[in-house]
Amino acid sequence: MNIIHIIKTILFLALFGLNSCPTFELGKKLNETNSKKEIETVKSDSNTDSDNDLKKYLAKIDSTNTVLNWKKLKCGLYINKDNEIGFKFNMVVGISHNGYTTAYRTYLCCDEDSKPLKSIIDTTTFKHLGSTFYKDKRNIYHYYDMAGGGRFSIYEGVDYATFRVLGDSYAKDKDHIYGERAGILEKVDYRTFETLKGAGPYAKDKNGYYFWDDLIYTKQGLKDSIRLSTSSYAKDFYNLLKSKSLIK
């Protein structure tokens, strides 16, 4: 009897397990589904509120710009009805409105505690040098692009007389090579540094090949990687540099 009882118990547990597990899992899935729906509903309501707030914010910016009646000057800057000078830029504001809206920076650098552009810039000599660099008869200027509007500032410490733009993303003066994002590039070889118009952020010197301010490969390192690597990355990088005439 004990053996039979044990067998019956095992069969009962097996049947109970087969019947109860699916029920448990189904309940679990229903709870998870309901939770997800609740979360999605909250997210949907939150997104709707955010979209409405964003639309109001954009409408306010656009309305302000319309009232100020911005007009473009010959030098590329803008002037409004209050005779404020503005640097025009695209401000990222979200997915709506094509992802950005037009705004104008009227002060140097980042906030209104800085000096207004009209008190600093000579609009009769102001011009775009290329990349993110500008100049007038007194200063070199730099615009560092960021999602919230970026920084427009005097580029301090450069040699005004010898400053010039290199290619698409770099500049130099008698002392330094500059990257539009990183400023002075301390590790590049000044004498042999080279980039070209159309090369974007790619450049080279006697030491190797750069992307922005990063040395991606030494010259020998690139050759070795192409020869030894099973990855196509090095070869693709080589072909890219060749297409930009940085490798002949």
Note whether 154 and 120 are within 8 A (CB): yes
pLDDT (tens digit, 9 = 90+) per residue, 205-232? 999 999 998 999 999 999 999 888 777 8
Task: Provide the token pair at 69.
Answer: 């009646």
- What's the pTM? 0.72
pLDDT (tens digit, 9 = 90+) per residue, 3-20? 444 444 444 344 334 444
**How many angstroms separate the CA atoms of 131 and 168, rounded?**
5
pLDDT (tens digit, 9 = 90+) per residue, 116-159? 999 999 999 999 999 999 999 999 999 988 776 788 999 999 99
Note whether 169 and 179 are within 8 A (CB): yes
* DSSP one-letter code for 111: S
Lowest mean pLDDT among 82-86, 103-107, 167-171: 103-107
**How many angstroms separate the CA atoms of 180 and 128, rounded?**
14
How is 1-31 classified by DSSP, letter by letter? -HHHHHHHHHHHHHHHHHHHHHHHHHHHHHH
Q: Where are the domains of the chain?
A: 1-66, 69-156, 159-248
Q: Kindly tell me the burial class for residue 107, based on how many C-beta atoms sit within 10 Å of its own C-beta (0-12, 13-18, 19 or more).
A: buried
